[in-house]
Structure 1
Amino acid sequence: MSRHDTGTKSFSFERVLWEIQRAFYSFKNSPVLALLLMQAAAFIFVQAKGAGKIYLDMIGILLGITLLSWFFTSVIHGNKKIVIYTLLLLTVGTMLQCIFREEQVLKNPQYYETHNPAASLQFQYILGFVMALVAAFLYLNCKNLSSTKALKKLNLSSVKVCRMFFYFSLFLSVITLALAKSVGNVRNWITIGGVSLQTTEFIKFLYVFIAVGLLGTKENPDKENIRAFYIVTFIEVLFLALQSEFGTMLLILMLFLTFIFLFIPDIRYFIGTVLVMAAGSLGLSVIGMQLTKWKAAGVFLGTNKIAQIFLSNYNKIANRFIYWLHPEKDALGLGYQLLKAKESIVLGGWFGTSSVTELPVKTSDLVYPALIQRCGMVFALLVFIVFIMMWLEGVQLFVRKQDRYHRAVGAGFVFMLFDQTLIIIAGSTGLCPLTGITLPFISSGGSSLMISFMIVGLIVAVSSNVKWKGTLEDEEEQDKFFKENAVTAKCHTYLRHLNDHFPRKSFRAAAGRVRRSGQKEESGEGKGV
Structure 2
Amino acid sequence: MIHRLTTRIVILGMMWLGLSLLKWESLSTQLFTQTLIFSAIVILGCLMEQIFNYQGDPYILPVVQAIMALGLVFVVRINPNVALHQFWWANIGQVLFYIVLWAMHDYRKLGRFRYLWGLLAVALLLATLLFGAEEGGATSSFKFLGVGIQPEEFVKLALLLFMATYLEENEELLRVGTVQWGRFSLPDWRTLGPFMIMVAFILGILAAQKSLGTALVFYMLFVLMLYVVTERALYLGISFPILLLTGTVGYMLFRHVRVRVAVWMNPWLDPSGGGYQIAQSLFAISGGKILGTGLGNGIGATTVPVAISDFVFSVIAEELGFAGAMAVLVMFLIVVMRAFAVSLRAKDRFGQILAAGIGILLGTETLIILAGVTKLLPLTGIPLPWVSYGGSSLIVHFILLGLLLNISNATAVASHSTKNKGREYAT
TM over 0.5: yes
Aligned alpha-carbon RMSD (Å): 2.5
Alignment partner of 2:143: what SS?
Answer: strand
Q: How far off is 1:417 after superposition?
A: 1.1
1:387 is matched with 332
Which of 189, 197, 210 is equivalent to 2:149? 197
Q: Which amino acid aligns with 2:40?
A: G
| Residue type of the alignment partner of 1:361 | V
Q: Residue 344 of structure 1 aligns with which residue? A: 284
Contact in 1 for aligned 2:225/2:360 (Cα 8 Å): no
Alpha-carbon deviation of 1:468?
12
1:209 paired to 2:161: yes
- Larger Rg belongs to: 1
1:97 aligns with 2:78: no
| 1:210 positional shift | 1.0
Letter in structure 1 aligned against 2:236: F
Q: Which residue among 38, 46, 61 is the counterpart of 1:83?
A: 61
The 8 Å contact of residues 108 and 350 in structure 2, kept in 1 or not, is answered as: no
Partner residue in 1 for 2:213: 247
Instruction: Tell me: CA distance 1:78–1:336, structure 2 relative to 1, closer, same or farther (3 Å).
Output: same
Change (3 A) 1:73 1:321: farther
Question: Is 1:407 the counterpart of 2:365 in the alignment?
Answer: no
Deviation (angstroms), 1:46? 3.0
> Does the CA-based 8 Å contact 2:124-2:155 persist in structure 1?
yes
Give the AA of the match of 1:356: I
Question: The residue matched to 2:149 in structure 1 has which SS?
Answer: strand
Query: Deviation per CA, 1:143-179, whole angstroms, max 9, x where unpaired?
Result: 5323xxxxxxxxxxx3xx2211222222211221111
Partners of 1:128 and 1:453 within 8 A in 2 = yes
CA drift of 1:318 comes to 2.6
Does residue 1:166 correspond to 2:118, yes or no? yes
Q: Secondary structure at the match of 1:216?
A: helix
Matches within 5 A, 1:322-337: 322-337=262-277
Q: Which residue of 1 aligns with 2:180?
A: none
SS of corresponding position for 1:242 = helix
Aligned to 1:501: none
Deviation for aligned residue 1:196: 0.8
Unaligned segments of structure 1, at least 5 residues: 1-25, 105-116, 147-157, 289-310, 470-529
Residue aligning to 1:421 = 366
Shift of 1:463: 0.8
Counterparts of 1:278 and 1:41, CA distance in 2: 44
Kept in 1: contact 2:132–2:140 (CA 8 A): yes
Partner of 1:443: 388
Aligned-pair distance for 1:53? 5.7
TM-score with structure 2 setting the length: 0.84
Task: Specify the alignment match of 1:258 in structure 2.
Answer: 224
Q: What secondary structure is seen at the aligned counterpart in 2 of 1:443?
A: coil
2:101 match? 136
Report the Cα offset of residue 260 of structure 1.
1.4
The corresponding residue for 2:42 is 66
Distance apart, 1:36 and its partner CA:
0.8
2 CA distance for matches of 1:187 and 1:280?
19
SS for the counterpart of 2:403 is helix
**Counterpart position of 2:13:** 40
Provide the residue aligned with 1:377 in structure 2. 322
The one-letter code of the counterpart of 1:329 is: L
Q: Sort the Cα spacing of 1:466 and 1:42 in 2 relative to 1 into closer, same or farther, 3 A.
A: closer
1:515 paired residue number: none
Give the direction of change, closer, same or farther, for the CA distance of 1:373–1:218 in structure 2 (3 Å limit). same
Task: Assess, with a 3 A threshold, how the Cα gap between structure 1 residues 162 and 341 changes in structure 2: closer, same or farther.
Answer: same
**Does the aligned pair in 1 maintain the 2:55–2:412 contact within 8 Å?**
no
Task: Report the Cα offset of residue 86 of structure 1.
Answer: 0.6
Matched residue of 1:140: which SS? Answer: coil
Note the C-alpha offset of 1:183.
Answer: 1.6
